[in-house]
Amino acid sequence: MLVRCPFAIILQDKTNIPRIKHIAPEIEHSNLLRRYKAAVDSRLRAVSGAREPKAVYEPFRYALLSGGKRLRAVIVLLACEAAGGKWKSALDAAAAIEMLHNFTLVHDDIMDDSVLRRGKPTVHAKWDVTTAVLSGDEMIARAYGVLLRTSTSRSNEIARVFTNAFVEVCEGQGFDIEFERRPGVTVDDYLMMIGKKTAFLFSAAAEIGALIGNATARRTSALRSYGAHLGIAFQLQDDLLDVDGTREEFGKTIGGDIEQGKKTFLLLSALERLKGAELKEMKTILHRNGTPKISVERAREIYSRAGIFDSARKEILRNTHHARKALASLPATPARAALGWLADRLADRNS
């Protein structure tokens, strides 16, 4: 039986005596990511110090400093180091990427009418929509200011990648909204959408880190590809957790995608695969007024029986494999190893 813990993979044999395998790399990578996350948190606190008006900056700090994995920011630092640079030189860019990400979360929560984020009330639920919009706008404005502090000869390239990420995320959100009204959305359409809305920011984080590390074109392309595949796997795992996770671990309402009638990888795969009564049941998620006509439990049962969960996991593993493969052209360093390890951990996360 495979038992996971934060620092090791423990294999239990028939005698029920744990045997620890590869514990040293697990500890090394975990400690590295923890150290980088702490550095990012410290920089975010520094750039979001007390300012006025409170109507802008209290929700601003609440959203930015209320937790989170800081994955995209950490990827900036790891990519910089994997490219041969000094990770501390990328701290401002990492903070900027995290601010851009949190800007999208504040606005997404408004559009999705989500009341929980990271287990806490969302900004618009704690204050109001007007305050949330304004604090989100301030966050993206400040993100550009922080990004421009980065000391590098490649500032123009970095600004271009950052701006493209901003544009792609907005376009992805636009497709997400458009898909709610559009009939005949396919799984391929959905993968295109999350490639913009979610994966592009991971890709930009890795590319910006590479540029700050003064990577060659080949290594920059490799890190960009790593981030793109990692982002797809990350979003598909989110789709799984929304139905198959727990509120305590996930930090958000379970079944939110079903209640909102969202066209996710799971639902679109089911609509393409199912027939008869079960297909009619799943279609009620798209055509509802008020409370969904199918429970989260029933949807989970159908997904499981039809192999939809298995299909999603297969796609997650495929993208994780491609992410790891993209790293092969980089020098063998602790940072490269940590990026590969991170891809594996994200594919197996429960929150």
- CATH domain 2-347 topology: Farnesyl Diphosphate Synthase (1.10.600)
Tokens of 120: 């806490």
pLDDT for the residue numbered 246: 52
Query: Does 1 score more than 60 pLDDT?
Result: no
With cut-offs at 50, 70 and 90, classify the pLDDT of residue 275.
very high
pLDDT digits (tens, 9 = 90+) for 34-69: 999 999 999 999 999 878 899 999 999 999 998 889
16 band by pLDDT with thresholds 50, 70 and 90: very low
Predicted confidence band of residue 4 (pLDDT cuts 50, 70, 90): very low
Please check the confidence at residue 2 and state whether its pLDDT lies above 90: no
Find the mean pLDDT for residues 104-122. 88
* Residue 103 scores a pLDDT above 90: yes
pLDDT band at 255 (very low <50, low <70, confident <90, very high): confident
Tell me the average pLDDT across 94-111.
95
* Rounded Cα–Cα distance for residues 33 and 30 (Å): 5
Query: From its phi and psi, is residue 307 left (phi > 0), alpha (psi between -120 and 50) or beta?
Result: left
User: What is the average per-residue pLDDT within 337-344?
Assistant: 95
Tell me the C-alpha distance between 253 and 176, whole Å: 19
At 269 the pLDDT is 97
Question: Averaged over 110-120, what is the pLDDT?
Answer: 85
User: 287-332, pLDDT tens digit by residue?
Assistant: 755 566 788 899 999 999 999 999 999 999 999 999 999 999 999 9
Q: Does pTM surpass 0.85?
A: yes
Q: Using the predicted structure, report yes or no on whether residue 14 has a pLDDT greater than 60.
A: no
Q: What pLDDT does residue 93 have?
A: 98
Residue 212: burial class (beta carbons within 10 Å; 0-12, 13-18, 19+): buried
Per-residue pLDDT, 295: 87
Share of the chain above pLDDT 90, in %: 73
Amino acid 23: pLDDT: 52
pLDDT value at 219 more than 60: yes
Please identify which residue in the block is written with the tokens 């851009």: 100
Domain positions in the chain: 2-347
Q: What was the pLDDT predicted at 348?
A: 85
Cis peptide before 53 (omega within 30 of 0): yes
Mean pLDDT over 195-202 rounds to: 98
What's the average model confidence in pLDDT over 16-31? 62
* Strand ranges across the sheet with 9-12: 2-4, 9-12, 18-21
What is the DSSP secondary-structure string of 272-303? Answer: HH--HHHHHHHHTTTS-SSS-SS-HHHHHHHH
Judge contact between 80 and 66, C-beta under 8 A. no
Of all residues in the chain, what percent carry a pLDDT higher than 70?
88
When pLDDT is averaged across residues 125-131 and rounded to a whole number, the result is 93
pLDDT at 13: 34
Contact indicator for 98, 121 with CB cutoff of 8 Å: no
User: What pLDDT score does 288 carry?
Assistant: 58
